[in-house]
Structure 1
Amino acid sequence: MSVQHRKKSNRSNEYRKLKREQALKELEVLEARCQDLSLDSECESFLELPLSLLTQQGLQQANYIEMTEIQRKAIPIALRGRDILGAAKTGSGKTLAFLIPLIESLYRKSWSQLDGLGALVIAPTRELAVQIFEVLRKVGRKHSLSAGLVIGGKDVDVEQERINRMNILICTPGRLLQHMDQTVNFNCDNIQVLVLDEADRILDLGFEKTVNAIIENLPKERQTLLFSATQTKSVKDLARLSLQDPEYVSIIEGSEHSTPPNLSQHYLVCELPQKLNILFSFIKSHLQTKALVFLSSCKQVRFVFETFCKLHPGVPLLHLHGKQKQTKRLEIFDKFSSMKNAYLFATDIAARGLDFPAVNWVIQVDAPENAETYIHRVGRTARYEASGHALLFLLTSEEQGMKAALDKKKVPIDKIRVKSSKTISIQKQLQSLCFKDPEIKYLGQKAFVSYMRSVYLQSDKFIFNVDKLPAEDFAASLGLPGTPKIKFVKKSQSKNVTRQKPKEVLGYSTSDEDEGNSVKNPKMNNGLSDFGGQEKEGKETKPRTKLDKMFNRKNMSVFTDHYKKLVDQEAESDEELITLKRADHELPDELKQPGRDPLSKRKLMKATSKKFAIKNAPKSKRLIFDDDGNVILLFIIITLCIFNLLISIII
């Protein structure tokens, strides 16, 4: 090696050494500035915060300049490494309030790929996780940290190959726990920051077991940030998460209302059969609008979407629910975000955290389960400094209880009246659609059952009373020719039961295809069977699934192909089973048999059919004729032959 080349190499090494020393000094200064931050910092812009140059550049390129109220209160505390319980109105900028401290924490610790996973962000829905990931990409684009999105609906094998190389993971609880159990060498022993977005939803009973299992795999020495629009202060929840002296940051308690001040909120009272008429009338009179319409179940969303599309209201319609594939959901999310005028029918999957640009109206056709869900739903409009409108449909039986719950949560809402002269009735059109299209009829039946079941399962019985619902009128408003009967089956019951074990049901009604496995229910209230019911003695319970019953129904084969289509489009398992009401028929005296129940119409038709007659006809006998044309039965000839044979042997 020449002398000149050796000198260049030495200068290069000295330069790298100086650069490392300078970077370490900058990190020390940055850490000291963060620790010196006041908990009551009065910073107004991101430039005033002690953030790294790379983060500042990412914020500027993403056009984040001024901080919102929750960001001004939460970011300085989080930069000091404190645990936070954050409660802020929807659309107030909570995402940046936890992403910026997360990035800065790993940056100040010189985190690299060799250090493994350093931060976890857990969101309750896939759409919210995708949205958080997109914001992280914008803000952290200048950093060398690696980030991954781990949600259901994607290829697990691809995620397993890359997950061990990630420094930051944005995930949903179920998929994260799946990787903890199945992915080789995946561990969270070195986690520095844990973030729970929409923490009240993640910590409730629906995710309790999953979250407990996740927490057991995380180190206790970490920073934990919890954010939501309606935050929990439960001592039990805080103990589960191992929070250490958390700082409670709220911009709700000090404010007059729980919802944004630029949100106009109203509710109307109507009868259940009038809901779709009012909704369709609203759409026809607000064509230049971007609105989000909430319904209580996936089946209702599909029915309303399919029927309204056929009625051609004059505005684009979309639908979003949990039974759709992940790629389809993301496609609809992006499509609705980019549209100027459209209506999106959705379940509560779209109620939390999602930021749809420029939504003018949030319409809640079905009442939310509680005031917290209402706050999350209306938060899809009037975000940041924009204005918005919210409209809530309430039944007469729901008005008093829901209004009291909203008043308790400081939600300002006014009552309006609907002009009957401007309401368009679509009942006849729906009846025509159900008559012409068996699939629409099938969807209507499922929508009816799912709505009644959702009301039945609500915990607040003061607001939701299924006995007060006009079931027959509601079924007619959906265009159905009859009111479906409903069987509410316990979730713990297995679909395939043993022959010896009787079915444990809350309500069980008789249907012909059960072949004696069901019992008669003498009382029916609005199409709902009463509690209780025992199996007939001496009958053997046959383990049959609901799918078997559907395909074994002889006179309902028209639904078979349509049912297959529905299964292909939505991989859903139904908790309930529907059968149509049938009128009782008096049989002639000659068909009545003593000691037996009268035959149903279906069994009567089956018993008098040609196929049944041929199948059960007496077997034919072989006839032999003598010389005079008289019939000689075969068994007589055989007997005579045997008799003659015996006589010959004896002789």
Structure 2
Amino acid sequence: MAKKIKMNTAMRKEARKREDDYLKGLETKIQEYDPKTANSKFFKDLPISSQTLKGLSEAAFIKLTDIQRESIPVSLKGYDVLGAAKTGSGKTLAFLIPILEKLYRERWTEYDGLGALVISPTRELAMQIYEVLTKIGTHTSLSAGLVIGGKDVKFELERISRINILIGTPGRILQHLDQAVGLNTANLQMLVLDEADRCLDMGFKKTLDAIIGNLPPTRQTLLFSATQSNSLSDLARLSLTNYKSVGTKDITNKDDDEPATPKTLQQSYVISELADKLDVLFSFIKSHLKAKIIVFMSSSKQVHFVYETFRKMQPGISLLHLHGRQKQKARTETLDKFSRAQQVCLFATDVVARGIDFPAVDWVLQLDCPEDVDTYIHRVGRSARYGKKGRSLIILTPQEEVFLQRLKAKKIEPEKLTIKQSKKKSIKPQLQSLLFKDPELKYLAQKAFISYVKSIYIQKDKEVFKFDSLPTDDFAISLGLPGAPNIKFKGTKSFERAKELKNSSRKLKALEKADDDGEIRDKTKEVKTKYDKMFGRKNQTVLSEHYMNVTGVQGAENEEDEDNFMTIKRKDHILNEDELPELSLPTSIRGQKRALSKKASLSTKGNASKTVFDDDGVAHPVYELEGEEDFAKKGDAKTQKDEYLKKETEVMATADSTDKQVAKEKRQEKKRKRLEAMRREEMAEYSDNEGDVETQVYLGTGNLSDDMEDAESDTEDRQNKRARFNSTSDSEDDSDANEYGVTEIDAPETLEDLESLTARLIQ
């Protein structure tokens, strides 16, 4: 037994020695590898471990892209990397492979804690990175976790201490850094920021600064993006040391003649008025029913409105919508459906404009002009990925045509297209009809109008987005609204503040309000019912605005607004007791009974009578006496009597004919049912006698005359058969009887034939 233990120990030592030699050889290959002289084309040519290579081959990742060929060797050597590459060029593998190799060479285990942190600006992109990591890291012993908003925080807190590679969004990661007890970042080896410039644009700058402040300075940092910006370089100066810029498009080189969009992408644009945009969109979808389309819009309210209205008009293709205000489960299901479908149209905001890899997207349509060229590049990058072909179309208004100069400065020159008027269809009448029938759609249209106008108002590039020249009335009519809603604008700082609050973590804000003992303070101690909470949700019901006006929540701001017809303008309803009439019961018992009795009160004031209103709105009794002069104007009494009797006679004759017709139809229906019952009884008797014969059920044709004719024809057929049977029997008695007195007779087919045969035999 002891000898066996020594053998196992020797084997373990030998295996550990082989692994040490393998890691030393791998480290030597990494240091000696030169991407310029090696000219590698496949992943197997890189100095990476066999486990990672096996995972890559099983996930069908064989050939290297440009960004992977240049950045992976630099990352393996331990340098900080600032990488930029075109959309769809494989940046995800460019930082996931160095993460796996770094932790493998460090012999990372679950007891070492967090080794790599990957930060993504959107939940969808974080989910995609996690899926790719699980595919290529199946043969490693590392654990990975995904933390994003919309998931169960308690479930993540229980398991986050055993995770080696953490992927998530900035808000949720910072929340776990503040709350999770077992999350230790002291041994962190690598930090990756994917689409880092977008993280800063979305208002995550303070959150990222707080996260970076909790990380050790000795880490390796990798930053990747498809576009360059000043905020990205600022972040590089803050968190990167001795970094190298790599990628097909160098960030420091601004005189590059190569465009930032893929070569296989066919780009085009059309010029259309703002009021005709929805007509162009609907006509485009109707003419591309067998394509996979993404339509980008500027706000979630526009996406919701267009999706709901187009879904009711049924263009002939599956419709989906995706925006940041949806629940995480709905967003995940929509992503899965769109990825699997081949003929579908997705209405989306910029939440899926970066990094998301949708397979085989044919068209990228931009209904609203993007805020800058970088957003345009990321949007069109959803198509023509990994060398495949794709098309893009942007719809610009005449005021936004200046945006083409911004694209030309970045070597992007889309081709101009003209719209065929024969294929263009106006949907304005349909939208007006839908909004007239459905108040909820009208409410969505108002919100879509307001969100679009506000998005133009807060844009920084005032040469492209000209707020003063917006045709608001025409745009409102194009949405189906009778007129442009009133909009109250606040300062630009308030919009930026609202944007920061939107992207900040609710849990963190609640913790900021907590007392020293950990209890969250409640500023409003009043008790709220479920109805107060329901009307408190601004965007949940059409009546919320009117409810707040009535209850006085909005204060005196709306008192001067003429459109708010339900606003209470007088609030000091103080009545003097002297002005009120004296309301008291009579002193006598008889008077009290008369006052409380309905019958007694009517006896004093006369019987109640009904009234009718004429065209002028004047009330008249139902039976009103006519004056003698008015009666004489219509003619003598005899003539009026004859006319009245004639008119009533005609009315009675019409009613009498109608009643007779109804009675006749009822008799015919009753007769038809009786005949049908008789027929079913005969067929049932016949089926009892002939067990092998299949039962048949005859139904009326719906026309009584046809059924009657069918019944009569059936009776005639039975009589004819009976006559033929009798004649045949008589003739057979005379001629066909053989010498033994036996007569051959055909088998009876109907009940009448059977009765006739029975009578014949009895005779």
| TM-score normalized by the length of structure 2 | 0.66
- Provide closer, same or farther for how the CA distance between residues 203 and 624 of structure 1 changes in structure 2, counting only shifts above 3 A: closer
Determine the structure 2 residue equivalent to 1:318.
Answer: 320
- Provide closer, same or farther for how the CA distance between residues 81 and 262 of structure 1 changes in structure 2, counting only shifts above 3 A: same
Distance 2:195 2:189 in 1: 20
Determine the structure 1 residue equivalent to 2:542.
Answer: 559
- Provide closer, same or farther for how the CA distance between residues 604 and 171 of structure 1 changes in structure 2, counting only shifts above 3 A: closer
Secondary structure at the counterpart of residue 340 of structure 1: coil
Determine the structure 2 residue equivalent to 1:69.
Answer: 66
Distance 1:12 1:624 in 2: 113
Secondary structure at the counterpart of residue 411 of structure 2: coil
Are residues 1:194 and 2:155 paired? no
- Provide closer, same or farther for how the CA distance between residues 562 and 492 of structure 1 changes in structure 2, counting only shifts above 3 A: closer
Determine the structure 1 residue equivalent to 2:463.
Answer: 462
Are residues 1:219 and 2:216 paired? yes
Are residues 1:381 and 2:389 paired? no
Distance 1:603 1:193 in 2: 59
Among all aligned residue pairs of Structure 1 and Structure 2, give the percentage whose two residues are the same amino acid.
Answer: 52
Structure ranking higher in helix proportion: 2
Determine the structure 2 residue equivalent to 1:130.
Answer: 127
Secondary structure at the counterpart of residue 121 of structure 1: strand
Secondary structure at the counterpart of residue 194 of structure 1: strand
Offset of 1:98 from its aligned partner?
0.7
Are residues 1:18 and 2:14 paired? yes
Distance 1:413 1:207 in 2: 33
Q: Deviations over 1:408-444 (max 9, x none)?
A: 1221212222223321100111111111001000000
> RMSD over aligned Cα, in angstroms?
3.1
Determine the structure 2 residue equivalent to 1:586.
Answer: none
Distance 1:579 1:375 in 2: 47
Determine the structure 2 residue equivalent to 1:262.
Answer: 264
Determine the structure 1 residue equivalent to 2:292.
Answer: 290
Offset of 1:193 from its aligned partner?
0.7
Q: 1:35 aligns with which of 31, 37, 43?
A: 31
- Provide closer, same or farther for how the CA distance between residues 580 and 176 of structure 1 changes in structure 2, counting only shifts above 3 A: farther
- Provide closer, same or farther for how the CA distance between residues 421 and 550 of structure 1 changes in structure 2, counting only shifts above 3 A: farther
C-alpha contact (below 8 Å) 1:37/1:76 kept by paired residues: yes
Letter of the 1:36 counterpart = E
Offset of 1:559 from its aligned partner?
2.9
Distance 2:348 2:430 in 1: 23
> What 5-or-longer segments of structure 1 have no aligned partner?
495-546, 565-576, 584-599, 608-612, 630-651
> What 5-or-longer segments of structure 2 have no aligned partner?
251-255, 496-530, 548-556, 592-763
Q: Which has the larger radius of gyration?
A: 2
Secondary structure at the counterpart of residue 488 of structure 2: strand
Determine the structure 1 residue equivalent to 2:581.
Answer: 619
Secondary structure at the counterpart of residue 367 of structure 1: coil
Secondary structure at the counterpart of residue 206 of structure 1: coil
- Provide closer, same or farther for how the CA distance between residues 278 and 191 of structure 1 changes in structure 2, counting only shifts above 3 A: same
Determine the structure 2 residue equivalent to 1:351.
Answer: 353
- Provide closer, same or farther for how the CA distance between residues 471 and 581 of structure 1 changes in structure 2, counting only shifts above 3 A: farther
- Provide closer, same or farther for how the CA distance between residues 168 and 463 of structure 1 changes in structure 2, counting only shifts above 3 A: same
- Provide closer, same or farther for how the CA distance between residues 419 and 321 of structure 1 changes in structure 2, counting only shifts above 3 A: same
Distance 1:10 1:432 in 2: 87
Distance 1:16 1:97 in 2: 34
Distance 2:57 2:102 in 1: 20
| TM-score normalized by the length of structure 1 | 0.77
Determine the structure 1 residue equivalent to 2:525.
Answer: none
Determine the structure 2 residue equivalent to 1:450.
Answer: 451
C-alpha contact (below 8 Å) 2:320/2:345 kept by paired residues: yes
Q: 1:144 aligns with which of 141, 149, 160?
A: 141
C-alpha contact (below 8 Å) 1:122/1:170 kept by paired residues: yes
C-alpha contact (below 8 Å) 1:290/1:341 kept by paired residues: yes
Distance 1:145 1:549 in 2: 46
Determine the structure 2 residue equivalent to 1:172.
Answer: 169
Offset of 1:459 from its aligned partner?
1.1
Letter of the 1:53 counterpart = S
Q: Deviations over 1:338-376 (max 9, x none)?
A: 000000000000100000100000000000000000000
- Provide closer, same or farther for how the CA distance between residues 157 and 617 of structure 1 changes in structure 2, counting only shifts above 3 A: farther
In the TM superposition, 1:29-428 aligns within 5 A as: 29-40=25-36, 41-204=38-201, 206-232=203-229, 235-241=233-239, 243-252=240-249, 256-400=258-402, 402-428=403-429
- Provide closer, same or farther for how the CA distance between residues 563 and 83 of structure 1 changes in structure 2, counting only shifts above 3 A: farther
Distance 1:207 1:623 in 2: 73
C-alpha contact (below 8 Å) 2:535/2:544 kept by paired residues: no
Determine the structure 2 residue equivalent to 1:476.
Answer: 477
Determine the structure 2 residue equivalent to 1:436.
Answer: 437
Letter of the 1:290 counterpart = K
Letter of the 2:206 counterpart = K
C-alpha contact (below 8 Å) 1:296/1:347 kept by paired residues: yes
Offset of 1:187 from its aligned partner?
2.3
C-alpha contact (below 8 Å) 1:485/1:579 kept by paired residues: no
Distance 2:477 2:409 in 1: 36
Secondary structure at the counterpart of residue 393 of structure 2: strand
Letter of the 2:270 counterpart = L
* Residue-pair matches, total: 532
Distance 2:331 2:94 in 1: 27
